[in-house]
Amino acid sequence: MNSKEFVEELHAANQKLLDRLRSTEELSSGPEAGMSIRNLLKIAMKNEIEATELAALWMPTTETIDIKMAWARQVGDEAKHYRLIQDRLRQLGEPIDHFNPLAKGYTALFKFLSMLHGTVDRIAAAQFTREAIAVVKNEQFIALCEAKGDPETARLYREIIQPDERFHFELGRNLLEKYATTDELQTSARMTARQTLELAEELQGLIFQETGVHHAPGC
């Protein structure tokens, strides 16, 4: 199939799996709702630093200039998100200066993504699929912040972080339409996208087991 048809097919397949990451439970503002916003923001910091490092890791091994610059844009955006979340935690009174979100190591999702070599696979997994996951989880987190009476954190995500994540997703869509032009590349991208979703679902499951929260931001 042509690349545009492939991207539409992949998006539809991703959406079916993304539905499993959407919690149907009602939000609560009480303590039974799970971890505090502060602790969830610490999870977000780990997601942001992994996304920053992943895009930076791929820049030197990407020859195609527009894709290389897409990684560069993502490095800047994700690093900005990290700093903004860090600042928000300080505003909330959280001692954050010596916090290391990577102290317990990298996630299984980061390890999988960091081993990808094909440029189309990287786009399908990171920008097209992982960013779509981030959009879903951020929407849930915004609703949780509002339910817990934290409109400032909700505003940060709604007005700054979420638009960037949507931009990354659309950038991934455009790059896939440009470069996923062969059956071989499309087959590999399908498999990589599915593995990314499955690992993200596993990661969210682990977070829920540890915290009782479905609504941790990002991926």
Average pLDDT, the chain: 89
- Of the candidate CATH numbers 3.90.25, 3.30.70, 1.20.910, 3.40.720, the domain formed by 3-15+34-211 belongs to 1.20.910
The answer to whether residues 156 and 48 touch, using CB atoms and an 8 Å cutoff, is no
Q: What is the distance between the alpha carbons of residues 170 and 77, in angstroms, rounded to a whole number?
A: 14
Give residue-wise pLDDT tens across range 145-174. 999 999 999 999 999 999 999 999 999 999
Interior/surface letters 101-134, b for 16+ CB within 10 angstroms, e for the rest:
beeeeebebbeebeebeebbbbbbbbbbbbbbbb
Is 9 or 16 the better-scoring residue by pLDDT?
9
Asked whether the predicted pLDDT for residue 17 surpasses 80, the reply is no
pTM for this prediction: 0.88
DSSP for residue 92:
T
Domain boundaries, the chain: 3-15+34-211
